[in-house]
Amino acid sequence: MSKIDGGPPDYKKLLPPIITENYGQWKYHEIPRAGVLKHVSEKGDTLYSVRVGSPRLVSIDYIRDICALADSYCDGYLRFTSRNNVEFLVSDEGKVEPLIKELEAKGYPIGGVGNALSNIVHTQGWVHCHTPATDASGIVKAVMDDLYEYFGRTDLPAKLKVAMACCLNMCGAVHCSDVAILGVHRTPPRVDHEKIRKGTEIPTLVAACPTGAIRPDPKNKSVVVNEERCMYCGNCYTMSPAMEILDAKNDGIAILVGGKVSNARTAPSFSRLVIPFLPNNPPRWPEVTAAVRHIVETWLNNARKGERVGEWIERIGWERFFSLTEIPFTDKHIDDFIFSRETFRTTAAFKY
Amino acid sequence: MSKIDGGPPDYKKLLPPIITENYGQWKYHEIPRAGVLKHVSEKGDTLYSVRVGSPRLVSIDYIRDICALADSYCDGYLRFTSRNNVEFLVSDEGKVEPLIKELEAKGYPIGGVGNALSNIVHTQGWVHCHTPATDASGIVKAVMDDLYEYFGRTDLPAKLKVAMACCLNMCGAVHCSDVAILGVHRTPPRVDHEKIRKGTEIPTLVAACPTGAIRPDPKNKSVVVNEERCMYCGNCYTMSPAMEILDAKNDGIAILVGGKVSNARTAPSFSRLVIPFLPNNPPRWPEVTAAVRHIVETWLNNARKGERVGEWIERIGWERFFSLTEIPFTDKHIDDFIFSRETFRTTAAFKY
Amino acid sequence: MPDKKTPKLDELEHGPWPSFVTEIKKAAVRNESAKDLLNLLERSYDDKRGHWKHGGIVGVRGYGGGVIGRYTDLPEEYPHVAEFHTMRVNAPSAWFYKTETLRTLCDIWEKHGSGLTNVHGSTGDLIFLGMKTEELQTTYDELSDAGFDLGGSGSCLRSPSCCVGPARCESACYDTLDVCYDLTSSYQDELHRPMWPYKFKFKMSGCANDCVAAIARADCSIIGTWRDSIRIDQDQVKAYAESGLDIQGMVCDKCPTRALKYDHEKKELHVIAEDCSRCMHCINVMPKAVRPGKEKGATILLGGKSTIVQSAFLSWVIVPFMKMEPPYTELKEMVAKIWDWWDENGKTRERLGELIYRMGMTKFLREVGLPPVPQMVFRPRANPYVFWPQDEIVK
Amino acid sequence: MPDKKTPKLDELEHGPWPSFVTEIKKAAVRNESAKDLLNLLERSYDDKRGHWKHGGIVGVRGYGGGVIGRYTDLPEEYPHVAEFHTMRVNAPSAWFYKTETLRTLCDIWEKHGSGLTNVHGSTGDLIFLGMKTEELQTTYDELSDAGFDLGGSGSCLRSPSCCVGPARCESACYDTLDVCYDLTSSYQDELHRPMWPYKFKFKMSGCANDCVAAIARADCSIIGTWRDSIRIDQDQVKAYAESGLDIQGMVCDKCPTRALKYDHEKKELHVIAEDCSRCMHCINVMPKAVRPGKEKGATILLGGKSTIVQSAFLSWVIVPFMKMEPPYTELKEMVAKIWDWWDENGKTRERLGELIYRMGMTKFLREVGLPPVPQMVFRPRANPYVFWPQDEIVK
Ligand code: SRM
Ligand code: SRM
Ligand code: SRM
Ligand code: SRM
Ligand code: SF4
Ligand code: SF4
Ligand code: SF4
Ligand code: SF4
Ligand code: SF4
Ligand code: SF4
Ligand code: SF4
Ligand code: SF4
């Protein structure tokens, strides 16, 4: 019988020798070209990392392919980044160019390093989840195709972190991304009373609703939804399959911008809603790609060097962001949930 | 029979001629000396306002006194400011110095103009209210005596607005003052069940508690207080005399700092708790005067020109404020009410 | 009654700041209740607690408020403050007085009350501090004859107040005194007869310096502003520069939006007009050289209040710019809708700010019919919890 | 089964970015469920909705999680995805692999599942995407033999993850890989057998750049920092200056605390050590010239999570500085107390951050025994609603 609780493999056994030898002894890094990092250690050793964008949803063929490359150029070592890129770890400087050539030849995108657009962190969507309001991989592919040029550059004002999540659970860091693409539902759940009676724990279901929209209905041994109070978060559906939330006609996408995670310069911050709804228009979601490009380009054209999207907007003011982008401002942009108060403009000083 | 709803007198009939003639036509002002404003109008008219600190709680003798002065120097016109100072409105430049001489001779403090300490906005305290945790006039007198020198100066880093309120109702703008002195209770209300039964509206009383600490007790036709949840705001006492909140042994004073109201430079902001409790020590509250002086002097010695107390603290960081003043930081400084989340340090960047 | 000793309060007659104790003593010379007040206060200084009971309902004919009833809990010992109510007298706009008017008030008060006053209360009323129930009506009658009226108390409109504005200030962007007087006159019924879930306060400041602290204390703050650009007088800029003002450091570097560029060589100051947020800072530092634009009006903000119950709220922007011209119809129409909405939805003792917070700004704006604009918020919502109205979704 | 047409998905094979559709097609060549996935997904592209039902409880012996059960709602039409579960494979620290290890994983997956993966999931697991119930146990057994184990799912500890840290980064202030591995190994029970009110996530970043986005996503974020001062190499400063870097503009002016002074003449950079908040900015821009101090460790922050239910929370500071040395006893003792407290007080599906918010930080700190320090908050409370413990008041 197999072991239980063996835990993951020991990382120490999976590190390339150059890393084992220089572990904790890295001195500085440079970006010799787009997609490539050069790390130099205290004792002068040099490691090149060649970063390659992946669709994340990959076949074992893909994995075997990159393994073959890593065998040829990296002595059989590679890693993945926190944004699902592949990093080829090249300790032999002479192999960097040949690797890049082969990667280019095979169509692997090299980039995502420095002040570039990196890969879009994303989720399951229609590929595997039960609550999505949209697909994830499809939109990511469409947007990355569209913004492709920025992946291979290093001269953006700052790093550009785009994230995508297919429902309000936000599996990822959509809530703190420069640009966030978010699947949203727009209609209340339809209660399947049969299913409720077949084993939903009603008190837990009632408690799950952030706005108190679900009331127990003891007579029916079910629940009723106060549709006026529901804002379609889908949390009840997560709790119970009886709360059918998918609605092909009304599900779609919202865009949030200006979040960040790093503590560099400014504190980490949430992304903020700028486009409440765009339709699901597979396979290429042209409304979404256009909206994202438009925001990114407005940033490119207006931000100062070193300004993340949110830093740029906070400098010019959100009122100016809306006028610059010509995105219409609506009541949907105004917070009305628990922490809304801190968003209210409690000053008479503002721009137009 | 007397009129009903006559309304206040028409201000136009109470303005000095120089104001009527230059109404809306003022061009600029200067501060020729501490406590004096010189306003010059478009057509070159000049109005001097001599500002005098008052205890606000004054007898009709006082009012008659200042009226006599206004008759001699201001053609019978004067006004009061939004901080309860008296302003003598002198249209004849030649009368300014004589007025000042007479005021000085009579012991009227001249000041509060420009980058000075102005009068302390305050409330009723033991003089007239039923909910106070301390007196107001007495503390104000003690603090103004102590900080007197700053009233007559104009070289502080910025304006210094001190406010005092005798309970959490905060009659005034204590919640947005550079330095706020606040009367606080520290023990839960003692329920007088007899009084409750004599006409308190129990549902309203229960609803009045911000923390839900009050439960109806239908058996007793009264209420019970969950003492663990009570934070002594006194709102229940405001609602019903049966909720006795005064507690001579535990009532006292809290100090909050760093609030501001003006929109100049930085947005208006709340004062923040820095000393959770100081004892009631009448008649001169030495602990309070010392604490206020200490904070004011730390500001004077450390702020840059033009920085209000809160602007200075926000620049250096609150952690630095506590280390500079050596005021101990305790769990009581940490918010645990509705909007606490926005105060949590959601960044790894901070000072020591 | 023999004079009691007040050693603690006597301590507060020392020191350079004028003493309220001295004032009470002055009144006590000819008024028994002022004397009792002094003694009762000394008692509080000994006991470290107040000695006043909850006020009962007392007032004058035709009015639901304007008087704060007050009774001591030690009536046997201090009989002259057994009843010791205050009357709130609605002060004139910006607290301008003729001495003769003040003297009339003093005379009335000498006759009917303690002879003690607060000039003024925090809301802005002139306060007659301490009188017996039986004196209320006559006092009111005489006040009324003298051209005065009561201020607000209870769940009603409170006495509006305003900064000195155009009467004596170069920064005033609208006539605060007139708006204050006009609204007070128009809303006499709302001011005098409690009718709402809770109190409602208006305060008017002529510019963003907000010299009546409206944003912190008023359910409706009316703060002067302009729509075009600040005006700069370059001759005066030069004069300031020559007088030694550090224009770059004290003005440009402190401009919150960095909208000002100072040309050291030419000693000229220039503004990027669209970047200026009209904070008043540059005008404050260089009043001779910089002034507000020409297209003046006010920003309307709602929701300010102090701490009880849900926390303090600062007023926030509801209308970025409104022209302020008599008879202020636009303002009044908006206020009427807001009051209706509050009255309909507010719980007992729920201030407007708390109600909007509870119900949501979106709902408020829709139901009151105000157009959403980005100036209402510092930033848009961080959560995606958007409500979709029936008519915006696909059926 | 005849190949269905997937015109919509085919569109997504165009364009420069590598295509997941191509990947599914590759797997579909030899795997029926991959083929059905493709077809089902095309169906979703037509219908504009997902076709997956709520997952039932499926798993492997001895484990309470690690598998996400998944069934299509169209099993007749797409029988090979009637069951299509995913298995979360706990990845090695910082996602380092030998190719031979990856090949072993591919071989196992080729045998037992769809041949599709996510490398990696958002939490950091390697995801085996799509398998039948009957394959779960054997897949696990083979994984286990190959030295792997399951990651977390359900109301338990989730697979911790970390940045590349000391393995390849000069900024790492502690050994993120080791802490990640150590905690994962120490908490196998918590990881594999759901036992709490809800999920709990750890993420480790070696410095404040936070390259695993811990602060946004982890209930406990461990972020590297130092206690002393940044170290500046003036020769390298000169080199950067000569290479044309605008040190004043790009470094000093963007320092959030203005702690850096640049001497243009000498081309020297100086720090006011006590003003530096260790934000990493100057180090990021001039990695050769500036580096962290010598006294290294980590800041511990708690409470991060995404939007559902009470709003998203960013982690906030709980311990400003903690040494990070094996066996990490201080950290583990603290974590044990926190988990106990959460477990005792948390409601079902209440994340730690929401619980602390609901109960109050004060209560949390007292009950968990952590000393309050000003670094925990941006600023102190604005309300005066302080709770006084019995032993601090006068009886
Ligand atoms: C490889 C990776 C860590 C890992 O363990 O996988 C990594 C590696 C490095 N990061 Fe990072 N970061 C990585 C994800 C992140 C993330 C998390 C994320 O993207 O989800 C963040 C926070 C994102 C945010 O703020 O929203 C992040 C914020 C930074 C920053 C701060 C950027 C800023 O100014 O706000 C730096 C500093 C810099 O680049 O100047 C940084 C710097 C670096 C350096 C230069 C560190 C070093 O000295 O080696 C590495 C190369 C950076 C580059 O790509 O330009 N790394 N970095 C991650 C690569 C992701 C990718 O494939 O694109
Ligand atoms: C007379 C008065 C208005 C009234 O109708 O009564 C008034 C009058 C003036 N204020 Fe004020 N302010 C008055 C209360 C206020 C208040 C409200 C308060 O104190 O409660 C504020 C907001 C306080 C706050 O921010 O917390 C206030 C914030 C200002 C500011 C902005 C200060 C800042 O930089 O934050 C200025 C601009 C300046 O002084 O540079 C200002 C400027 C002025 C000017 C210079 C306006 C002018 O051009 O005439 C007046 C003389 C200022 C002085 O005293 O130095 N006034 N001023 C009030 C005098 C109160 C007193 O007796 O001390
Ligand atoms: C007299 C005055 C204080 C003073 O000495 O100046 C005052 C005195 C009282 N206030 Fe006040 N408030 C006074 C201005 C204020 C202000 C300031 C303002 O209006 O600008 C505030 C803060 C702003 C605000 O409205 O939020 C204020 C916030 C309160 C509150 C808390 C309201 C809230 O929503 O948080 C209460 C409690 C209540 O209404 O039950 C309160 C209640 C009271 C009561 C009626 C006591 C009570 O619980 O019933 C006090 C009567 C004292 C007495 O016996 O004379 N008073 N009160 C002020 C009115 C004088 C005037 O008309 O000019
Ligand atoms: C697979 C994965 C997305 C992906 O494609 O990468 C995922 C998939 C699901 N997540 Fe997640 N979450 C995944 C990372 C996250 C993250 C990111 C992270 O961990 O760094 C978050 C945000 C951070 C956080 O925890 O707050 C996240 C926040 C949620 C939530 C909302 C939790 C909350 O407190 O707000 C739910 C809802 C729930 O727990 O019931 C959820 C629930 C789910 C479920 C189990 C659906 C459900 O309601 O039961 C999804 C199963 C999809 C499927 O069928 O495969 N997932 N989920 C990620 C896990 C893979 C892995 O182990 O590596
Ligand atoms: S974001 Fe929502 S729909 Fe997408 S994988 Fe996570 S839980 Fe599923
Ligand atoms: S979708 Fe969200 S808001 Fe609507 S009923 Fe369900 S849990 Fe409540
Ligand atoms: S602050 Fe409190 S005690 Fe003081 S006057 Fe106002 S209500 Fe009364
Ligand atoms: S004092 Fe405040 S918190 Fe305490 S019971 Fe009364 S209303 Fe509630
Ligand atoms: S608020 Fe503006 S207009 Fe009114 S007095 Fe103050 S500075 Fe002048
Ligand atoms: S008014 Fe304020 S924002 Fe406008 S230019 Fe002057 S200082 Fe800047
Ligand atoms: S978080 Fe810091 S230590 Fe870790 S990889 Fe990023 S820069 Fe390096
Ligand atoms: S680490 Fe950040 S705060 Fe410290 S000196 Fe560098 S830029 Fe300034």
* CATH code, domain carrying D385: 3.30.413.10
Tell me, in angstroms, the distance from the centre of ligand 6 to residue A238's CA.
10
Q: Where residue D141 sits, what CATH number does that domain have?
A: 3.30.70.2500
User: Do residues A8 and D91 touch, judged by C-beta distance below 8 A?
Assistant: yes
ipTM, two decimals: 0.97
Q: Sheet with D126-131: list strands edge to edge.
A: A57-59, D116-119, D126-131, D85-89, D67-68
pLDDT tens digits, one per residue of B13-27: 999 999 999 999 999
The Cα–Cα gap between C98 and C112 comes to 22
D360 and D322 both lie in a single domain:
yes
Domain assignment present for residue D155? The answer is no
Establish if D250 belongs to a structural domain: yes
D329 CB within 8 Å of a chain C CB: no
Q: Is B346 on the interface with A (CB under 8 A)?
A: yes
User: Nearest-CA residue of chain A relative to C361?
Assistant: A336
Same domain? C178 vs C29: no
Q: What is the pLDDT of residues C23-58, one digit of tens each?
A: 999 999 999 999 999 999 999 999 999 999 988 889
Same-domain pairing of D19 and D140: yes
**Chain A residue with minimum CA distance to C389:** A228
pLDDT in tens, C224-243: 999 999 999 999 999 999 99
* Among candidate residues D291, D323, D343, the one where a domain is terminated: D291
Q: Decide whether any atom of ligand 2 lies within 6 Å of the C210 Cβ.
A: yes
Residue C2 has pLDDT above 90, yes or no: no
Beta strands C202-205 and C220-226, pairing class? parallel
Cα of C284 from ligand 2 centre, angstroms: 10
In this structure, are C21 and C71 located in the same domain?
A: yes
Q: Which chains are adjacent to chain C, needing at least 3 Cβ pairs under 8 Å?
A: A, B, D
Q: How would you list the strands of the sheet with A46-52, edge to edge?
A: A26-33, A36-41, A46-52, A86-90, A77-80, D96-98
Question: What's the gap in Å between the CA of A274 and the closest CA on chain C?
Answer: 7
Q: For residues D55 and B251, what is the distance between their CA atoms, to the nearest angstrom?
A: 58
**Mean pLDDT of all residues belonging to chain D:** 97
User: Cβ contacts (< 8 Å) between D311 and chain C: which residues?
Assistant: 382-383
The answer to whether the beta carbons of residues C96 and B76 sit under 8 Å apart is no
Asked if residue D20 lies in contact with residue A56, where contact means CB atoms within 8 angstroms, the answer is: yes
Q: Number of C-alpha atoms within 13 angstroms, CB side, residue A155? A: 3
C310 contacts B60? CB cut-off 8 A: no
Is the pLDDT score of C79 beyond 80?
A: yes
How many A from CA of C156 to the centre of ligand 6? 38
The CA distance from A175 to D237, in Å, is 37
Query: Do C85 and C165 fall into the same domain?
Result: no
B179 contact partners, CB below 8 Å, separation of at least 6: B160, B161, B162, B163, B255, B256, B257, B271, B292, B295, B296, B309
CATH of the domain at D252: 3.30.70.20
Last residue of a domain, one of D251, D267, D291: D291
Which pLDDT tens digit goes with each residue over C124-145? 999 999 999 999 999 999 999 9
Tell me: do D304 and D215 sit in the same domain.
yes
Q: Residue D1 pLDDT more than 50?
A: no
D303 and D330 part of one domain:
yes
For residues D37 and D137, membership in a common domain is answered with: yes
- Our measurement of the distance from residue B305's CA atom to the centroid of its chain's CA atoms, rounded to an integer in Å, reads 23
The mean pLDDT of B233-261, rounded to a whole number, is: 96
Q: Which residues of A touch C228 (CB under 8 A)?
A: none
Mean pLDDT, chain C, whole residue set? 97
Element containing residue B55 per DSSP (H, E): none
Question: Does residue C44 sit within a domain?
Answer: yes
Neighbours of D391 (CB within 10 A): 6
Q: In terms of pTM, does the model score above 0.90? A: yes
Ligand 12 atom closest to Cα of residue D276: 4
Our CA angle for B79, B81, B86, nearest 5°, is: 55
D305 φ, ψ (degrees, to nearest 5): 180, 165
Q: What is the pLDDT of residues D163-189, one digit of tens each?
A: 999 999 999 999 999 999 999 999 999
- D70 and D94 co-located in one domain: yes
Q: Calculate the alpha carbon distances from C128 to A91, B67, C124 in Å.
A: 87, 18, 13
Locate tokens 């302020």: which residue? C324
Q: Does the CB atom of residue B234 touch ligand 8 within 6 A?
A: yes
Where does C13-135 have alpha helices with state H? 20-28, 32-47, 99-112
pLDDT of residue D2: 52
The answer to whether residue C1 scores a pLDDT higher than 50 is no
CA B157 / ligand 2 centre spacing (Å): 15
Record: contact D374-B187, CB cut-off 8 A:
no
Chain centroid offset of residue A170 CA: 9
Strand partners, A176: none
C211 CB near ligand 2 (under 6 Å): yes
Q: Is residue D268 part of a domain?
A: yes
Q: Is residue C27 part of a domain?
A: yes
Q: Which of B36, B243, B262 to mutate to test the interface with C (most CBs of C within 10 A)?
A: B262
Do A350 and C375 count as a contact with CB atoms less than 8 A apart?
A: yes
Residues of chain A with pLDDT under 70: 1
A336 → closest Cβ in C275, C361, C375: C361
Q: CB distance from D384 to chain C under 8 Å?
A: yes
- Helix spans in chain D (H): 7-11, 20-28, 32-47, 99-112, 136-145, 165-168, 176-186, 188-192, 214-217, 234-242, 281-285, 329-345, 352-359, 361-368
Q: What is the rounded CA–CA span in Å between residue C203 and residue B172?
A: 13
Residue D55 pLDDT level (bands cut at 50, 70, 90): confident
Which residue's structure tokens are 């320090």? D373
Distance (Å) from the alpha carbon of A99 to chain D's nearest alpha carbon: 16
From residue B289, give the alpha-carbon distance in Å to each of B56, B228, B283, C204, D326: 19, 32, 12, 33, 51
Total domain count, chain C: 3
Contact, A301 vs A155, CB < 8 A?
A: no
Which of C307, C312, C382 is closest, CB to CB, to D312? C382
Q: Distance between CA A21 and CA A40 in Å, rounded?
A: 12
Give tens-digit pLDDT for D246-299. 999 999 999 999 999 999 999 999 999 999 999 999 999 999 999 999 999 999
Beta bridge partners of C297: C225
In a domain, residue D200? The reply is yes
What is residue B172's predicted lDDT score, i.e. its pLDDT? 87
- Give the C-alpha separation, B168 to B175, whole Å: 10
Is residue A40 classed as helix, strand or coil in its secondary structure?
A: strand
Residues in chain D: 395
CB A93, CB A18: distance < 8 Å: no
Query: What subunits make at least 3 CB pairs under 8 angstroms with B?
Result: A, C, D
- Of C145, C176, C198, at which residue does a domain stop? C145
Say whether both D220 and D125 belong to one domain.
no
Residue D1 belongs to a domain: no
DSSP state string for A202-220: HHHHHHH-TT--EEEEGGG
Ligand 5 centroid to Cα of residue A257, in Å, is 19
Instruction: Give the structural domain span for C257.
Output: 231-291
Question: CB-based contacts of B17: which residues, under 8 Å, 6+ apart?
Answer: B75, B91
* Same-domain pairing of C305 and C202: yes
Q: Do A57 and D129 touch (CB under 8 A)?
A: yes
Q: What is the distance between the alpha carbons of residues B16 and B81, in angstroms, rounded to a whole number?
A: 16
Residues D311 and D276 in one domain: no
Domain assignment of residue C1, yes or no: no
Residue nearest to atom 6 of ligand 6 (CA): A236
Q: What percent of chain D has pLDDT over 90?
A: 97
